[in-house]
Amino acid sequence: MRRRLAVVYVSLLVVACLGLALPLCGAIAAGNTADMIMDRSNDTVRFASMAGPALESGETEALRSELDAYDSLYEIRAAVVDQNGDIVVSSRPDFATDNPETAELVRAGLAGNRAGADDVRWPWDERPLIVVEPIARSGEVIGAVVTVSPTGALRQATIGQWGIISGGVLVILASGIAAAGPLTRWVLRPVRDLDQATRSISEGDLTTRVRVESGPPELRDLGESFNRMAETITTLLQRQRAFVSYAGHQVRNPLAALRLRVDGLAAHLDDSGADDHRLALDEADRLTRICDTLLSLAGSGSAPQPPVPVDVRAIAELRVAAWAPVAGRAGATLACCGTSSAAAYCPDGTLDQVLDVLIDNALKFGGAGVRIAVHVRPPADGRVVVHVVDDGPGLTEEQLADAAQPFWRSTDSSGADGQGLGLSIVSTLLQAHGGDLRLTRADPHGIDARVRVPAAEGAGEPHTSDDQSSA
């Protein structure tokens, strides 16, 4: 942008200088030509006043001497012609009036008109300057005086003045080009500060602000508006973190007490309830980890956990087992199938939350007797893919495209619990760690939720198991 601004500035400066210099050069050439024509016209008038009596009396020696002295002093040829256009006396023997330009001006002079060059003599125009003055006696034109002046001195003077103007233009251009750097830096300093502040804020430094002490007024106003926006965003984020912190803290304490009570039930259970008791404790521990994650996120403002290798098949089996009682009460069939082992790379607990949301949605909206399959595919192309497929009524293509938007709910789900945030949270969690969620129609009906997560380094191609864990 700085280069573009400098180019525009220099271009405008060049156009402005040329727009002033060219008309000024033309005016100088025209003025020098007019001065020379006026000077030669005065000399020609003087010779015409002397030539009148000489032509009447026939005594032209004094007139010849005057013309010779004038030619010798100024190197300007002069001649006197009679009514027929014939030369009566001239300063040089080779003086001729038969060239077209001179002949035309002589005819105009003999017609009683003062004639002379009326065009500008430019430095590249080497034609001489011709001036003709009629000689009148008693109201009758009896001849004319012709002067032919070389224009070399005139052109040299014009070139010299043009050189001065060109030098001035070059000095102005050099000064303007030298000032282009500081000027563009001054103009763009608020933009550069705005870019740096935006980058710092995007990297998590919410205390960064734009300096508004220098620069054009419009950009200073932009900087002030940016600072107000940053203050608003910082306030909103602080409130959001405070809410997450309070919510996580308030939920964690009752959850800890609940786990103690569930743990205390072990003494009152027989062997048939041991598995359910263990699952209940695992769920309580998982919810505690989620609360700890929320508290860590609220405190640091960044991802609280680094990605770690996880066994996708093991997580899928655990989540199917955890949801099996819910599926049984709903009359649904829930199964886990696919590869026996698949190592992925994501933060601990992320895939658990993703599968919980997808299984919960399938049970909630799939209808009575829905069949749900969690299919884990082997790692391929650096990804592990998990499909959560149900044979419920499904959604249209347009609805599937909008389903991951926050607070979106189908028109057919108005009576179901929820706020339309589950799929949005799932999509955000996956994208934050290099994964993604895609919803498509299952065959022949239902929804196929495809989850992709990065495969752990060195993950091979495990064999595909036909065994299913189901409920």
Give the burial string for 206-220 (b: 16+ CB within 10 Å, else e): bebbbbbeebeeebb
pLDDT in tens, the chain (471 residues): 677 878 888 888 899 999 999 999 999 999 999 999 999 999 999 999 999 888 888 888 998 999 999 999 999 999 999 988 899 999 998 888 888 888 888 899 888 888 876 788 899 999 899 999 999 888 889 999 999 999 999 999 999 999 999 999 999 999 988 888 888 877 777 778 888 888 888 887 778 888 877 777 887 888 888 888 888 988 888 887 787 777 777 777 787 788 788 888 877 777 777 777 777 887 777 777 777 766 665 655 544 567 889 999 999 999 899 888 888 888 999 999 998 888 998 888 889 889 988 998 898 888 888 999 999 999 888 999 999 999 999 888 888 888 888 888 777 665 566 677 778 888 888 888 889 999 999 988 999 999 999 998 765 444 444 445 555
CATH top-level class of 2-156: alpha beta
Rounded Cα gap, residues 97 and 142, in angstroms: 17
Strand partners, 380: 383
* Residue whose C-alpha is closest to residue 400's, from 361, 364, 456, 429: 361
91 neighbors 78 (Cβ within 8 angstroms): yes
401 neighbors 437 (Cβ within 8 angstroms): no
pLDDT value, residue 464? 41
Q: Using omega within 30 degrees of 0 as the cis cutoff, is the peptide bond preceding 444 cis?
A: yes
* Residue whose C-alpha is closest to residue 104's, from 94, 113, 95: 113
Q: What stretch of H or E contains 136?
A: strand 129-137
At 277 the three-state DSSP class reads helix
Domain ranges of the chain: 2-156, 216-304, 309-470
pLDDT value, residue 462? 42
DSSP summary character for residue 60? -
Question: What angle separates helix 61-74 from helix 2-57, to the nearest 10 degrees?
Answer: 160
CATH number for the segment(s) 309-470 = 3.30.565.10
320 neighbors 376 (Cβ within 8 angstroms): no
Which CATH code of 3.40.50.2300, 1.10.287.130, 2.10.10.100, 3.40.50.1580 fits the domain covering 216-304? 1.10.287.130
pLDDT value, residue 102? 87
178 neighbors 202 (Cβ within 8 angstroms): no
- Residue 410 to residues 344, 356, 393, 419, 470: CA-CA distances in angstroms? 32, 20, 12, 11, 29
This prediction's pTM = 0.50
Block residue for tokens 């009570």 = 261
